[in-house]
Amino acid sequence: MYTGLETINGSIYNISLPLGSFNESDVQTLELFEKLLQFTAYTNDNLDDFFFIMNGVLVLFMQVGFACLEAGSVRYKNVGNIMLKNFLDSLICSIVFWLTGYAIAFGNGNAYIGWTWFAGVNFPDNLWSKWFFQYTFASTAGTILSGAVAERSTFIAYLSYSLFMSGFIYPVAVHWTWTYQGWLKQLGFIDYAGGMLIHGVAGTACLVAAILIGPRIGRFDKNSKNSFSSHSNALIGIGSIIILVGFCGFNAGTLSNFSKPHDGIIATIIVRNTIMCGAGGALTTLFLGKFGAFNDKYWHFEFTVNGGIAGLVASCAGCDQFSPLESIIVGIFAAFIYTILHHVILYFKIDDPLDSSPIHMGCGIWSVISVPLIQHGGIFAHPINEVLQNLMIQIIGVLSITAWSLCTCLILFGILHLLNLLRCSEKSEIIGLDVASHNQKMYPDYLSNSEFVDTIRHGTNTNGQVSVMCATSM
């Protein structure tokens, strides 16, 4: 009997064959067996590629969710500007990530940066599915930033931060964490699906940009609260549901393959935990609002949506290992973190129209911190020295990635600010970026009438009289 390891189509198999002469039937059997192994290998590769592509499409579809969420959260006069930016995000990122982003993130290099495969030179064909999935992640990082500077940033500023976020800032942090050469990876830092890499990096950029660009005109005047209200809760609701669906592909796709034993179980656990974290965040924020955490005691819509997204963000780092209860707990803490940071930025008069920095920076940091504290029982099931050691590694990762995003974004937005390219003119901001930047209105003229808008919101016109205009004009 011959027993040995044979390599067929790049895969190694343990084969046992009887010694002696082979008849024609034996030869045909061996040929059939080899073809079967080749078919299996090809099928596994195709299945893994399909898994990458389908989850990448779900992440790309999140752009629709972000577009609706952002467009609904701003005033009607800036909706077209927001929609155009969200449309262009993915397209611009595809070119930049091909030119530099993937090479810096996943190319061979040192512990800090990659330097092979720029512009796809010598790029292996079997890695394009991975490129596509990772490109959708890079696109998400750029999209998050647009909400923090909505309604007052120039289009030049948008193009600049979209290019640099997708092509350099985000990829460097990825190389540190997700490649075996990366120094944080070697240290033992855990961020399974980009809680810190994507959301923490983008959230930090949001905070820097919001501070440097300044608040919208009149945003913190005592009597201006209603004038900055979201113009369409329906768009916000639709967008948040799409984001919820997209997060399932966002986290599950990080598994990278679907052909190995138990991959289906792992993917199912990831999706389950993602939804559970979102549920914990949304429900906690819902009840916090009812108990007065947002200044009045109602079942708040927008804050609940943001709390749910905060929970989804918090799920990223440990979604492959949490239990259902642990996932809910992570989401609950995310809701409290979001609520506290929401009030903190308002106290310092930082204008972030979509609460991007509290959600993505605050809960992105919490995502990686929660891994040693909660995963597999956390502090209740492991020796305290082990927990503290793992926690210290996570904190080093948080501080390093935050510092990287902070410094690079200070340089980027600082230069734009000095060149007077960061913020649009006062006139453009007042008339709205749809007209000022694109010479186009997203809504008919009668919807731009201030009396009509006041009627829609409150059921009365500017004289305080009840009106049926909304019923007759729509």
Model confidence at 461, pLDDT cuts 50, 70, 90, reads very low
Convert the chain into a string of H (helix), E (strand) and C (coil).
CEEEEEEECCEEEEEEECCCCCCHHHHHHHHHHHHHHHHHHHHHHHHHHHHHHHHHHHHHHHHHHHHHHHHHHCCHHHHHHHHHHHHHHHHHHHHHHHHHHHHHHHCCECCCCECCCHHHCCCCHHHHHHHHHHHHHHHHHHHHHHHHCCCCECHHHHHHHHHHHHHHHHHHHHHHHHCCCCHHHHHCCCCCCCHHHHHHHHHHHHHHHHHHHCCCCCCCCCCCCHHHCCCCHHHHHHHHHHHHHHHHHHHHHHHCCCCCCCHHHHHHHHHHHHHHHHHHHHHHHHHHHHCCCCCCCCCCCHHHHHHHHHHHHHHCCCCCCCCHHHHHHHHHHHHHHHHHHHHHHHHCCCCCCCCHHHHHHHHHHHHHHHHHHHHHHHHHCCCHHHHHHHHHHHHHHHHHHHHHHHHHHHHHHHHHHHCCCCECCHHHHHHCHHHHHHCCCCCCHHHHCHHHHHHHHHCECCCCCECCHHHHHC
Assigned CATH for 54-429: 1.10.3430.10
pLDDT at 224: 67
> What are the domain boundaries of the chain?
2-40, 54-429
Question: What are the pLDDT digits (tens) for 296-325?
Answer: 899 999 999 999 999 999 999 999 999 999
pLDDT at 197: 95
Question: What are the pLDDT digits (tens) for 93-130?
Answer: 999 999 999 999 999 999 999 999 999 999 999 999 99
pLDDT at 455: 46
Average pLDDT over residues 325-344: 97
Mean pLDDT across the chain, nearest whole number? Answer: 88
Average pLDDT over residues 283-299: 94
Average pLDDT over residues 356-360: 97
pLDDT at 295: 85
Q: How many CA atoms lie within 13 A of 327 on its CB side?
A: 24
Share of the chain above pLDDT 90, in %: 76
* Residue 41 and residue 9 in contact, taking contact as beta carbons nearer than 8 Å: yes
pLDDT of 9 > 80? The answer is no
Cα 325–chain centre separation: 23
